[in-house]
Chains A and B, each alone.
Chain A
Amino acid sequence: MNTRSLLAKLGPFLGLLLVIALFSIPPEVRGYFLTYANFKIILTQTVIVAVGALGMTLIIVSGGIDLSVGSGIAFTSVVGALLIQRGWPTVAVVAAVVASGAGIGLLNGAAIAGLRMMPFIITLGMLGVVRGAAKWLGGNETVNYDASAINNWMTTPDPFGWSLPAGAWVAVTAAIGTAVMLRQTVFGRHIFALGSNEATARLCGVPTVRTKILIYTVAGAFFGLAGLMQLSRLRQGDPTVAVGLELDIIAAVIIGGASLSGGMGTVLGSMIGALIMAVLRNGSQQMGWPTYFQEIIIGLVIIAAVFLDRLRQSRSA
């Protein structure tokens, strides 16, 4: 492997190190920022975006986009809260919430592949449809319940020990599974083929319609999983939560080196992209920067990441 392609692979990783290094300089935050306890907080904060980014990686690599993720997370968290309210066992709740996410993905995929419409348009429409459905389902208010094992996913029994919250382990396991699927299965390689050149994929007998539907369905399952974690963090089903979260998720995938025109992207990159944004948020909070300043910084980081990526691409071409 030559140095350039090594650099290309390490790009997002170097970005993460750079961001961590920046917040390690000012002495007033260094003491706390670099502790394990704080990294645990960062990890926990990034879990929802990270799990969402797994699904989004599949979609973006295939040349698509999904704008309905924030609404999907709200919808599935409301579904979960209602089922807990009705006394469903935890396993059944988890299965039903993930399945409801997959169901939304199936609708997206079927509309995109079946009607041959732009993913941008379909999921923009679904952004509204699913958000409305979540509010309808929740009776236009938050859905509360007494207690559930799911509530413990995003917290750890001892905040200063080594143990990570369950949600973080779920995210890590899901990430490894997705990476293996993208690399080692025929379905995974067909995702890349679709995004790289859809006409060629069809010519070579790749079942493009079925593959697309499957991509959005699997991604939807990940969004359902993210909804479950949203539920765990809030401990209530809130139909107005996660507005605009899809943009954070898309940004994580793009910072991680994926191309919006498809054919490129890695799970590791997307996870690092999610971490970069979480570290930026956490660090800015500790610096005492106002939130508007954080927003500006994260926006600039997205533009810089894509610009650097394009420089890299044009030089290797």
Chain B
Amino acid sequence: MTTTRLRLSGIRKAFGATQALRDVCLELAGGEVHALVGENGAGKSTLMNVLSGGCAADGGVMELDGSPYAPRDTLEARRRGVAMIHQELSLAPHLSVWENIMLGAEPQRGGWLNRREAKAQARAALARLGYEHLALDRRAGGFSIAEQQIIEIARALRTEPRVLIMDEPTSSLAQADTARLFAVIRQLRGHGVSVIYISHFLEEITRLADRYTVLKDGQSVGSGEVAGTTQAHLVRLMVGREVTELYPARAARPGPPVLEVRGLRAGPRLRRADLTVAAGEIVGVAGLIGAGRTELVRALFGLDRSTGGTVVLEGREAAGRTPGAGWQSGLGFLSENRKEEGLMLALSVAENVVLPKLGKFGRLGWLNRRGMETAAGAWIGRLGVKARGPAQRVAELSGGNQQKVALARLLEYPARIFLLDEPTRGIDVGSKAQIYELIAGLAREGRAVVLVSSYLPELFGMCDRIAVMCRGELVDCRPRSAWTEPSLMAAAVGGAA
């Protein structure tokens, strides 16, 4: 714990107009487990990409064991001894365990593979983790996620890493597997490997890590020893900021309930959700990435098949949910993935806006293009979309204007219950304010809104009530005034509220 393995100072990185990292400092000692914590979007992933050679920093200094370190790609980072285990595993599923571990460094003689030697080396790497019993010849894709993770760690160990970065390694692990992984990490620490451990689960960090660094809005805002630090202190560092005047004032006047969800389940990512939303009400859904928030709204709208539970819309039970039926029963869904799912970028504003009700613009099979453009043009005016006209391709608009087009589709149908998944993701502050005003306006007109967001100030600024999801379950739903940011974060990470 005396030597400094890795030192970062003043790291900056921008993607277009977004400053992902402003001024990050981090010091990693040899043979320690260092927790990196922060809210969604605080810049953790970007920082780790810079470290592992995924992308280059715009500025700042990195030193590895005293010498300058600036990897051009992941391969060079690995050669220098910095390896990363990604949240999404990156094994070759068709290859066997030993082939995955030895990939790119196969023992050979004149191009001929030395299987026996390769397997021996793979077995040795697994043995360091206490997993020498793993069947070397089985296809990697056939193993559980926990075992695949072990295979990937074994591969990283083959290059004798000095720094091992683990991004949310337990997000899809069961309790017993998490305990086993922790034993492996402690073993690595014993061998002198420095581990950077990224996790949302603060309880894990207090169990495992020696020191921590907190990132907020692309800056390192605190670091220290884990021993003697409370979870509450970490949470304050993570969320401590002011709610600005972005959010319109609105008096809550909820009407009768229009959306009643009871015991909704959909696959392993959505295990149970109960929720009631009234007309004129905005209900937020908070939670970490992977907690099941997106799965909840997708299952409600019929995009994902639900495996249990009932949904009552405006007093009628909605059976056989499909997106088409969803539209007809008054639901409107805004995808979190604007570019790949939410919009058809190559098509015009008009086509994007009227698609769900395209049939209404047809007469004997002929489309009334002028009618479509008139309808879309009205929304361009009302929402202040900066576009040349309804015939312009959506791809040519800015992110904020694209999002307004996506929302116009819901308004044009018109939807009565709005399911909005991350409606302000990746758009500028000006457009954000306009979209907040639009959402508040919907509630004033008596529409119901479910607002999924990773950004806590947005939820506190907009919602009448906020529901929290954790590991696939909707664990709590309270009026906004009954939450504080720390208590909400605590519920989201599975701690006591």
B166 CB → nearest A CB, Å: 16
A18 contacts the other chain (CB 8 A): no
By a CB distance below 8 angstroms, the chain A residues around B108 are: 185-186
Q: Which residue of B lies closest to A261 (CB)?
A: B94
- Contact status A195-B94, CB under 8 Å: yes
By a CB distance below 8 angstroms, the chain B residues around A206 are: 103-104
- The segment from B85-93, B276-284, B322-330 found at the interface with A is B85-93
- Contact status B74-A203, CB under 8 Å: yes
Known: A186-B106, A206-B103, A206-B104. A197 touches B92 (CB 8 A): yes
By a CB distance below 8 angstroms, the chain A residues around B105 are: 204-205
A285 contacts the other chain (CB 8 A): no
B211 contacts the other chain (CB 8 A): no
Interface digits, B121-143 against A, CB 8 Å rule (1 contact, 0 not)?
00000000000000000000110
Known: A204-B103, A205-B104. A187 touches B111 (CB 8 A): yes
By a CB distance below 8 angstroms, the chain A residues around B345 are: none
Interface residues on B, range: 20 to 34
By a CB distance below 8 angstroms, the chain B residues around A203 are: 74-75, 78, 90, 104
Known: A192-B94, A263-B93, A263-B94. A202 touches B103 (CB 8 A): no
- Contact status A192-B92, CB under 8 Å: yes
Number of A-B contacts (CB under 8 A): 66
A199 contacts the other chain (CB 8 A): yes
The docked-state distance in angstroms from the alpha carbon of A193 to that of B99 is: 9
By a CB distance below 8 angstroms, the chain A residues around B99 are: 189, 192-193
- Contact status A201-B92, CB under 8 Å: yes
By a CB distance below 8 angstroms, the chain B residues around A263 are: 92-95
- Contact status A192-B95, CB under 8 Å: yes
B155 contacts the other chain (CB 8 A): yes
A70 CB → nearest B CB, Å: 29
B366 contacts the other chain (CB 8 A): no
Known: A193-B103, A200-B103, A206-B103. A186 touches B111 (CB 8 A): yes
The docked-state distance in angstroms from the alpha carbon of A186 to that of B90 is: 20
- Contact status B104-A204, CB under 8 Å: yes
The docked-state distance in angstroms from the alpha carbon of A113 to that of B155 is: 26
Among B78, B104, B111, contact of A201 (Cβ-Cβ < 8 Å): B104
The docked-state distance in angstroms from the alpha carbon of A204 to that of B91 is: 10
By a CB distance below 8 angstroms, the chain B residues around A56 are: none
Q: Which residue of B lies closest to A183 (CB)?
A: B113
A196 contacts the other chain (CB 8 A): yes
A227 CB → nearest B CB, Å: 27
| Best-buried of A189, A199, A263, A264 by chain B (most CB within 10 Å) | A189
B86 CB → nearest A CB, Å: 10
- Contact status A196-B93, CB under 8 Å: yes
- Contact status B113-A197, CB under 8 Å: no
Q: Which residue of A lies closest to B115 (CB)?
A: A184
- Contact status A197-B104, CB under 8 Å: no
- Contact status B93-A197, CB under 8 Å: yes
Known: A193-B103, A204-B105, A206-B103. A184 touches B94 (CB 8 A): no
Q: Which A residues between 165 and 201 are near B, CB-CB below 8 angstroms?
A: 184-189, 192-193, 195-197, 199-201
The docked-state distance in angstroms from the alpha carbon of A197 to that of B78 is: 18
The docked-state distance in angstroms from the alpha carbon of A192 to that of B94 is: 8
The docked-state distance in angstroms from the alpha carbon of A195 to that of B103 is: 13
B54 CB → nearest A CB, Å: 10
Among B75, B91, B92, B93, contact of A205 (Cβ-Cβ < 8 Å): B75
Among A189, A199, A200, contact of B106 (Cβ-Cβ < 8 Å): A189
Among A184, A187, A192, A197, contact of B91 (Cβ-Cβ < 8 Å): A197
By a CB distance below 8 angstroms, the chain A residues around B112 are: 184-186
Q: Which residue of A lies closest to B77 (CB)?
A: A203
Known: A185-B111, A186-B108. A200 touches B94 (CB 8 A): no
A interface list, Cβ under 8 A from B: 184-189, 192-193, 195-197, 199-206, 263-264, 316-317
Enumerate 17 A-B pairs (CB-CB under 8 Å) in ascending A order. Answer: A185-B108, A185-B113, A186-B108, A186-B113, A193-B99, A193-B103, A195-B94, A196-B92, A196-B95, A197-B93, A199-B90, A203-B75, A205-B78, A263-B94, A263-B95, A264-B94, A316-B142
B interface list, Cβ under 8 A from A: 74-75, 78, 90-95, 99, 103-106, 108, 111-113, 141-142, 155
The 4 closest A-B pairs by CB, nearest first: A204-B104, A263-B94, A196-B92, A205-B104
